[in-house]
């Protein structure tokens, strides 16, 4: 299966413009025969545009999520739709299970080739260092996995990379690809590269770490989106400019690696 990591530039607080950038990337990926596209964290509003979170939040049936669903359906691709600020009250009113009756969440949705919502993941670990995310958002409580054309896909988000327990739980659910929409800034380049590779090695799975490439007032996202294989080898990667990173994910390779090097079976609780 061919996977594309869309490393997008972003304009703080300009959701329509940022959605247009995503639409262009998804169209480019589809033209290149990609099966699954992964967008970055909060690319719609821009992670560091904290003042815009409440203004641009919406329920899962809102116009931004609808546009992302349409992108998947129009181009016939699976879409890990980065993340957007979800209005939990609006989602609850539409009959969606939510972790709290009110508040906001950093929410990633998986859409299949028909644009059907197949999975929802709300970021578990909220970032407080140089960020107001912990003050503005409600953490998620459940994991999400989706079976997509022979691949079991799990979702996590950015800061989650620092918490290996989450990825081990996904591995226990049989995940063969973990998608990590992110907004990882300079100067923590070594952390970004090490943690993504480590999560792949520890769990003998593919990891699609998809970062933004954008400058905000005081922060710059470092790009370097990378697809790691189950050995932690970079299958495809980028620098710090906006681009599309394309690589292949082979579920049989996950099976082979786990049989040849059965570290998961040797684990002791």
- Enumerate the domain spans of the chain: 2-266
Please give the pLDDT value at position 131: 83
* CB-based contact 139:127 (threshold 8 Å): no
Q: Provide the total of helices (H) and of strands (E) in the chain, helices listed first.
A: 8, 13
Q: Which two tokens stand for residue 84?
A: 């957007």
The dihedrals phi and psi of 128, each to the nearest 5 degrees, come to -110, -10
Q: Dihedral (C-alpha) 87, 93, 98, 100: value to the nearest 10 degrees? A: 70
Find where tokens 């998961």 sit: 264
d(CA 114, CA 72) in angstroms, rounded, equals 7
* CB-based contact 47:9 (threshold 8 Å): no
d(CA 70, CA 182) in angstroms, rounded, equals 22
Please give the pLDDT value at position 268: 86
d(CA 211, CA 158) in angstroms, rounded, equals 8
Find where tokens 């508040």 sit: 103
Tell me whether strands 177-181 and 151-155 are parallel, antiparallel or unpaired.
parallel
| Nearest Cα to Cα of residue 167 among 158, 181, 159, 156 | 156
Please give the pLDDT value at position 202: 97
Find where tokens 């821009």 sit: 46
| Nearest Cα to Cα of residue 161 among 203, 103, 220 | 203
Is pTM, for the whole model, over 0.95? Answer: yes
What does pLDDT average to in each consecutive run of 10 residues of the chain (269 residues)? 98 96 98 98 96 97 98 98 98 94 97 98 92 94 96 98 98 97 97 98 98 94 98 98 98 95 88
Please give the pLDDT value at position 129: 83
**Number of C-beta neighbours around residue 125 at 10 A:** 18
| Nearest Cα to Cα of residue 5 among 44, 17, 28 | 28
Please give the pLDDT value at position 33: 98
DSSP for 225-243, written as a single string: -EEE-TTS-EEEE--SSSE
Strand boundaries in the chain, DSSP class E: 2-7, 36-38, 78-80, 84-87, 104-111, 117-122, 145-148, 151-155, 177-181, 206-210, 226-228, 234-237, 243-248
Residues with active-site annotation = 41, 123, 158
Tell me whether strands 78-80 and 104-111 are parallel, antiparallel or unpaired.
antiparallel
Q: Which CATH superfamily is domain 2-266 in?
A: Carbon-nitrogen hydrolase (3.60.110.10)
d(CA 211, CA 192) in angstroms, rounded, equals 10
d(CA 55, CA 45) in angstroms, rounded, equals 10
């Amino acid at each position: 299966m061919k996977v594309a990591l869309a490393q997008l530039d972003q304009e703080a607080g300009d959701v329509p413009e940022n959605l247009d950038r995503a639409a262009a990337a998804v169209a480019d990926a589809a033209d290149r025969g990609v099966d699954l596209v992964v967008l970055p964290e909060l690319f719609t509003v821009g992670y560091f545009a904290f003042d815009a979170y409440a203004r641009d939040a919406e329920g899962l049936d809102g116009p931004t999520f609808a546009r992302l669903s349409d992108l998947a359906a129009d181009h016939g691709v699976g879409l890990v739709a980065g993340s957007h600020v979800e209005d939990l009250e609006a989602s609850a009113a539409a009959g969606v299970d939510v972790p709290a009756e009110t508040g906001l969440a950093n929410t990633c949705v998986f859409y299949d080739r028909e644009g059907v919502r197949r999975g929802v993941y709300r970021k578990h670990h909220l970032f407080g260092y140089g960020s107001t995310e912990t003050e503005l958002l409600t953490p998620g409580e459940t994991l999400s996995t989706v079976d997509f054309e022979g691949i079991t896909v799990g979702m996590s988000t950015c800061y989650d990379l620092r918490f290996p327990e989450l990825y081990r739980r996904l591995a226990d659910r049989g995940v063969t690809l973990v998608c990590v929409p992110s907004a990882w800034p300079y100067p923590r380049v070594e952390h970004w590269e090490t943690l993504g590779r480590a999560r792949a090695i520890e769990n003998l799975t593919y990891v699609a770490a998809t970062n933004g490439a954008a400058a905000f007032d005081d922060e710059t996202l470092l790009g370097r989106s990378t697809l790691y294989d189950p050995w932690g080898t970079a299958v495809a990667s980028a620098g710090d400019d906006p681009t599309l990173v394309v690589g292949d994910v082979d579920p049989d390779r996950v099976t082979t690696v786990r049989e040849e090097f059965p570290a998961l079976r040797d684990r002791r609780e």
